Structure 1
Amino acid sequence: MKKNIYKLFLMCCALIAFSACTDLDEVLVGEVGNSFNGEEPDFGSFDGGGSGPADAVSSAYNQLRESGSANHGGYWSIQSVSTDEMAVTQKGGDWYDGGIWIDMHRHTYGPANGPINGTWGAQYAAIGACNTALASAGLDANQTAQVRALRAFFYYRLLDLYGRVKLVTTPGADAPQSSRADVFSFVESELLASLGITSVTAAMDLSSSPLGTAQTQYRINQFAALGLLAKLYLNAEVYTGTPRYTEASLAAGYAIDNGGYILSDSSYSVPNPGKRPSVDSDPDELSGYAAVFAPNNQDNPEIIWSIAYDNVTGGNMNFAQMTLHYSSQFTWNLQNQPWNGYSALEDFYNSYDNSDSRKTANFIVGPQADYEGSVILDYAATGGDLALDYTVDINELEPNASRKGGARLGKFSFRQGQRDNMDNDYPIIRLGDLYLIRGEADARASGNWSMALNDVNTIRARAGVPALSSVDEDSFLAERGREMFMEVTRRQDLIRFGRFNDSWWEKPASQPFRNVFPIPQEQIDASGGTLTQNTGY
């Protein structure tokens, strides 16, 4: 009886939570087919690393969580849904939201799009916190360099998304709209200054840098700043028309060779916080690639700089809510019912070999079971099949997409007893990305894609797939996509490779001006004439 009461409690919680969700208008509650036959779940204690250190620059770093980095509706969403990685499908009356996600997928977004406006505001709020920190007394040279680099990171986001933005560096001040090239130069100069150098060269000397070299995952060190420069230089030709691939390779290579970071391979593992004791297919430990993104990834040796998330003190990561079907609440004993929004696109999912360990780590597919391994049922399912089974294919983008359609986003894996806010730290700079940046930069600088082969095969070896004998532009882009799924690089990559305007599932070819988002109309209206719109909008 006690076990049945527990299960009834879970279902009641799901119904209560569901009634408060504005994205959905129909209650879909799953039930297991059999009664509980084991012990009530006891999740014990869990160490997710906390929300980061408390120091004089905490308020500025906290903006990483507040600026849409890993939650629905902001920076992460517009970067990801505009690519061939994933979509937010309209499921009848659910998830239409005025068509904003359909527009994002089909590249028909305009200046009134709410998430585009919200993302702009969130980045400037973060920049404001950095400006306030820099204007305050008491920061030492290291802290000042960190905050300058952090502010440069937020401007890097604006540079990438909107191009022509205002470079505000004083609290409460305004500034004229700058060209994209000028914003690039500002970001570059701030990062170089934080490193104590004037340029990235093969002979650069960082001994006078105010930034340290200690592996402090939640703070910017020399290697994190170099990683940001590597990303900036990799996309310099898009941003300014002038390629900077040699500098991209040098910055990435320095961090690879000198940082002391290692790829998280099969030799590194952590306990699996999502383990269901009665389900043999759930591994006891997460190793290699999967461990990089686990709820207990705070000590992962591959991560150079990450955003500290914590379910109590450091919220705003909610991938489980964003992607899982309502009834998947019973698989992980989630505190609240998920929203059933985001799904991976079939072609992207199928780009992985079945032997690729990243495929297993990145996606949730097939029949779903509860905590004790019993089949989860969805009594609102159509077609007579009540079992919750995530299909790889999606029948349509709108208006009546399947509620079970599409592989679900599982890269940042879930833990038992999870709240809406997750514990997984979100990597901004990690070693696997730097290998691919160096490989691509060397290939582009030399005009020879074979120059990327060693770095590509280093990444493939970790994934458990055979080494390639050759690589070209297409195969490199595909490999980078498989490695960097859900890490907000795909839009940049597609633009850099000239593929962002291509057609893909439920998306026709789009115009090149879509490579930058519109300046939000709300911001233009409030600017008193100091902001003008990007071309084409």
Structure 2
Amino acid sequence: MKSYNIKQRVKVFVLMCTAILAGCTNLDETIYSSYTDENFPSSPKQYASMTGPIYVAAQKLFDNNLYELQEMGTDEIIVPTRGGDWYDGGRYVDMHYHNWTPSHVLVTNAWNTGFNAIGTCNQVLNQFENLEDTDDKEKTVAEIKIMRAWFYYNMMDAYGNIPIVTRFDQSVDAPTVNSRKEVFDFIANEIEENAMFLDEEATALNYGRPTQGMAYALAAKLYLNAEVYVGQPMWEKAEEFCNKVIELNQYTLGDYFEMFKPDNGADEKEIIFAVPFDSNKATGNRWQLRTLHFSHRNTFSLTATPYNGWCVAPGFFDSYQEEDIRKKVFLWGQQYDANGNPMEYSGVNV
């Protein structure tokens, strides 16, 4: 019986192997779980998904030291050293006293973040090169180029003479440094060539992405500062592009303080261009933690304790008239918790 069972099992095994081998002669398979040039991207939504990394880079731009670089050398932000807190190797003291160098951590961090963002734009543009020409592709490419122009504007504003790199597959050799005038002209030309392909109407669907209004506002800022950037005032060009924004009839002045509340969004018609954040899918932009006192957690029912860090120089604060509505953006004097009780920290009134 044992011999019979073994023979039967051998026969079955041989038959199974034969069937498997016969079934494996055609190895062509239709793959549905991978992106290829043939199946992706093929729709406006897929075009938009390809550009996602660009907007992540925009979020990082101001979360990674560019804002500090712009403001901490002015009177608007000062970061006092409190005990052992906020000294951080003297980086903020150096900014306040204008003692930064090319190797300063804020200078290098902002540079790296900005040019990584430009590289991301070039990489995504490279992916679009071989796609079929359609209106949707044309519009998406225009959005990418305007975003790249916006990144270049911020880098030119902060650093002056910088390299213009427009290809992702460009040589690995160090790029040539272009003059500020050349970068200025490059940004202006990118806006001129691409703004017409963008959405004219500002809606919830294009919130956070370039529209014609965003492109024209960027051009207006460029020309408004032309005397600094290229040594020649261009007031008429600045006025021309301001009028272009107005003529779109998409924006209205609203309540300044409402505009900057955490639940703002596409309904705020004063916002021409925004970099969206939220508490779940796009975290960051937690400036309130950097500016508020530890005890303000009880005032605003925060889920995290603030860092007791940034504040404004007294001379700048005192430059506002008492009745100036803009003074309401500051907290000063005795502070209170959510129930109206005076706040104390370590036995001292806050």
TM range (shorter): 0.7 to 0.9
Q: Deviations over 1:297-336 (max 9, x none)?
A: 1021101111101111112201111111112111122222
Residue 294 of structure 1 corresponds to 261
| Conserved 8 A contact 2:334-2:342 | yes
Residues 377 and 54 of structure 1: CA distance in aligned 2, closer, same or farther (over 3 Å): farther
Q: TM-score, normalised by structure 1?
A: 0.52
Structure 1: where are the runs of 5+ without partners?
1-52, 196-208, 265-287, 380-384, 389-537
Residue 40 of structure 2 corresponds to none
Q: Deviations over 1:176-222 (max 9, x none)?
A: 11111111111111111112xxxxxxxxxxxxx21111113311111
- Give the structure with the larger helix fraction: 2
SS in 1 for 2:78: strand
Residue 230 of structure 2 corresponds to 240
Query: In percent, how many aligned pairs have the same letter?
Result: 32
- Tell me how far apart the structure 2 counterparts of residues 154 and 345 of structure 1 sit (CA, whole Å): 29
Residue 366 of structure 1 deviates from its aligned partner by 1.9
For residue 338 of structure 1, what is the amino acid of its counterpart?
P
Structure 2: where are the runs of 5+ without partners?
1-46
| Conserved 8 A contact 1:135-1:170 | yes
- Tell me how far apart the structure 2 counterparts of residues 194 and 150 of structure 1 sit (CA, whole Å): 11
- Give the structure with the larger strand fraction: 1
| Conserved 8 A contact 2:201-2:250 | no
Larger RCO (CA within 8 A; separation ≥ 6): 1
Residue 54 of structure 1 deviates from its aligned partner by 6.2
Residue 320 of structure 2 corresponds to 352
- Tell me how far apart the structure 2 counterparts of residues 76 and 108 of structure 1 sit (CA, whole Å): 17
Residue 213 of structure 1 corresponds to 200
Match of 1:321 among 276, 286, 289: 289
Match of 1:163 among 136, 152, 160: 160
Residues 54 and 369 of structure 1: CA distance in aligned 2, closer, same or farther (over 3 Å): farther
For residue 236 of structure 1, what is the amino acid of its counterpart?
A
Residue 172 of structure 1 deviates from its aligned partner by 4.6
Residue 188 of structure 2 corresponds to 188
- Which range moves more in the overlay, 151-160 or 168-177? 168-177
Residue 375 of structure 1 deviates from its aligned partner by 2.2
Residue 107 of structure 1 corresponds to 98
Match of 2:250 among 260, 272, 283: 260
Residue 91 of structure 1 deviates from its aligned partner by 1.4
Verify: 1:59 aligned to 2:53, yes or no.
Answer: yes
Residue 374 of structure 1 deviates from its aligned partner by 2.1
Verify: 1:250 aligned to 2:240, yes or no.
Answer: yes
Residue 70 of structure 2 corresponds to 79
For residue 194 of structure 1, what is the amino acid of its counterpart?
N
Residue 303 of structure 1 corresponds to 271
Residue 407 of structure 1 corresponds to none
Residue 178 of structure 2 corresponds to 178
| Conserved 8 A contact 2:200-2:248 | no
Residues 259 and 130 of structure 1: CA distance in aligned 2, closer, same or farther (over 3 Å): farther
For residue 61 of structure 1, what is the amino acid of its counterpart?
Y
Pair member with larger Rg: 2
Q: Describe how 1:381-396 pairs up with structure 2 within 5 A.
A: 386-388=348-350
Residue 75 of structure 1 deviates from its aligned partner by 0.4
RMSD: 1.7
Q: Deviations over 1:339-398 (max 9, x none)?
A: 1111012222222232222211x111122222222222101xxxxx6111xxxxxxxxxx
- Tell me how far apart the structure 2 counterparts of residues 322 and 259 of structure 1 sit (CA, whole Å): 37
Residue 56 of structure 1 deviates from its aligned partner by 3.3
For residue 256 of structure 1, what is the amino acid of its counterpart?
I
Q: TM-score, normalised by structure 2?
A: 0.79
- Tell me how far apart the structure 1 counterparts of residues 214 and 49 of structure 2 sit (CA, whole Å): 19
